[in-house]
Amino acid sequence: MSTAMSPLLLRTTEKTDRDSSAGQSCLSLPGVWLPIQPRPRQGTGDGLVTRGTGPVRRKGLEAEKELQGLPLSETGGAVNAEDGPYISPTDFARDVLQVELWKKQEEVLSALPEHRRVAVKSGNGLGKGFSAAVAVLWYLHTHNPAIVLSTAPTFRQVRHILWRQIHVLHRRAPDVLQGKLLDTRWELAEDRYAMGLSADSADQFQGFHSPHMLIVVDEAEGVDDAIYEAIDSVMTSDGSRLLLIGNPTTTSGVFRRAFHEERSIYHCITISAMESPNVTEKKVKYPGLTTIRWVDERREIWGEDNPLFRARVLGEFPDHTPDTLIRLSDVEAAVERWKALPAPVDRRAPVALPDPAHPDATDSGAAGDSAWAGPVEGRPERGLARTDSMPMPAGPNLAVSGDGEVALSVDVARYGSDQSVILRRRGSQVEEIRTFNGMDTMELAGWVAAAIREFQPAQTCIDEVGVGAGVVDRLREQGYGVRGVNVAHSARQKGVFANMRAEGYWKLRDLFAAGDIAIPGDQRLLGELAALRYSFDSLGRILMESKEDMRKRGVPSPDRADALMLAFVTPVTRPRIWT
């Protein structure tokens, strides 16, 4: 009887003999001989790891102690967790899925068999989601019975991120992995399945029990504490495992506590973009991983001391100092609300968008280029013509729902490197951000006039400090009812705020904290919001950090943030005296 040797067996055995009388192959490990029943060829999946057959990976004395005389499972190719899986997660990725992992992905997967709780904080584009998909497939394939649950803050994230990757990987070895694979469910038997759940209700996690449980929480920073309490209730068996993966953008919650107060019960892993092979070797070794170009762009746009750089590049939690105006987690939550809004009604012809070279890149990243709000996954890639070469997709158009009036705001550039910004919102949702470089006040006034005619805003607020007064005067001369705002003037609450700028930004802070604002994922806007700081003057009034002081610490002028603040400010009406 002939036996086809698999690449796995060839790599893992020191010696392989065949008992001609019994028709069996034998796997030789130091001091241990295990019979391996031959399996007929089944297409491209033959010879790897199959249900009901396969070698148990162990080394030296540990293998001899644990595996001598251990019978193979007769019901599906897996043994109890205490006996160990037939194949390690990293070998499973290499030999079954035939994918190459980089060292941090191997570190994450290797931690799962050894640790009950694993928490991974990571920068952007470093393959943490790919590792989670491999983990789901590996765990269910090597444990029987078993239940694997995956979750994320929204079902869109569950379906279109992790489970889409699971489908891609499953197609690499369908004859080996087998089972019935649906949209967000993979079933091998009634007591052996994986499924994706959204984290919008803790009740969804009730009633799941198995000797072997794996719970994968993707985008773990955005999952409420109540969901984690429900997850703990299903981790009652000794064979349970929990994998948390996310970006460290929060300053509180279970995900952050896993790396601080509760670190003793978690195995913690940090993945920095600086460790990416594409960064360390300064060339694209692993397509799709973060590149040195992207890191340099983030450094140019945000600066290394920006909380966004720490979280999105270095994989470190932001330092939430007492003088931080808006928490980074609140900014990120506002972006997620914008993504979840209904798709806009298309009122314009589509424009050609640049092919995004990096999945995390949402602007050009080059100094002086205009940023753009998207494209964001799941949103239409359409927009208006721009004044520069980079088009910008429109935000959610809520005109058909009548959800709020349209308002325009304009921040007028004062210096050569600054940008003029026209921002449009409808209710509390930002619909569009346009930026302009090197434009004189008369031309900018023309663009504002065109926006007023097209969108018929209920209010148009324009920064009239310095050269902005020229834009205000020109539009008024043409008969447009614009409102000039001088943020250096006194605030409405004079005893609380030093000026209108501080009052306007504090109102913006309250909108973010209350979850009453939705903004597009414009990376420059996010960086500017995260960099805002405040202090108190000698009278105890709130005072925003000046732009001059921001420049001293390497932070660019917050042009987009200023436009956002102006969009929500309530101007103080003062009579103009003409002489």
Residue 202 phi/psi, 5-degree rounding, is -70, -25
- The CATH 3.30.420.240 domain(s) of the chain lie at 368-374+386-568
Q: pTM for the whole thing?
A: 0.60
Query: Letter for the amino acid at 238?
Result: D
Name the token pair of 9: 């067996």
List own/partner pairs for 276-283 with CB under 8 A and 24 or more apart: 276/102, 276/125, 276/126, 277/102
CB 396 within 8 A of CB 382: no
- Do the beta carbons of residue 388 and residue 536 sit within 8 Å? no
pLDDT of residue 571: 57
Bridge partners (DSSP) listed for residue 283: none
> 452 near 480, Cβ under 8 Å?
yes
pLDDT at 553: 76
pLDDT given for residue 250 in this prediction: 83
3-state DSSP assignment of residue 269:
strand
In this structure, are residues 313 and 293 in contact, taking their beta carbons and an 8 Å threshold?
no
Query: For position 438, what pLDDT does the model report?
Result: 83
Mention every residue, 6+ apart, whose C-beta is less than 8 A from residue 421. Answer: 409, 410, 411, 433, 434, 435, 436, 559, 560, 562, 563
> Residue-wise pLDDT tens for the chain (579 aa)?
333 333 332 233 333 333 333 333 333 222 222 222 333 333 333 222 323 333 333 333 333 333 333 333 333 334 444 444 468 999 999 999 999 999 999 999 999 999 999 999 999 999 999 999 999 999 999 999 999 999 999 888 999 999 999 999 999 999 999 999 999 999 999 999 999 998 888 888 888 989 999 999 999 998 999 999 999 999 998 889 999 999 998 878 899 899 988 888 999 999 999 999 999 999 999 999 999 999 999 998 888 878 889 999 999 988 667 788 998 888 988 998 998 887 554 433 333 333 333 333 333 333 333 333 333 233 322 233 333 322 333 333 333 233 689 999 999 986 666 789 999 999 999 999 999 988 889 999 999 999 999 999 999 999 998 889 999 999 999 999 999 999 999 999 999 999 999 999 999 999 999 999 999 999 889 889 988 999 998 888 999 999 888 888 777 889 999 999 999 987 555 555 555
pLDDT at 172: 94
Looking at residue 99, what is its pLDDT? 95
Q: If one looks up domain 90-271 in CATH, what number appears?
A: 3.40.50.300
Q: What six digits make up the tokens of 344?
A: 């806009």
pLDDT of residue 164: 95
- Tokens 């034998």, residue? 26
Separation between Cα atoms, residue 54 and residue 87, nearest integer Å = 8
Can you give the pLDDT at residue 341?
83
The per-residue pLDDT for 230 is 92
Domain with CATH 3.40.50.300 in the chain: 90-271
361: left (phi over 0), alpha (psi -120 to 50) or beta: beta
Beta strands 117-122 and 24-29 are: unpaired
Give yes or no for a contact between 271 and 126, defined as CB atoms under 8 angstroms apart: yes
Domain topology for 368-374+386-568: Nucleotidyltransferase; domain 5 (3.30.420)
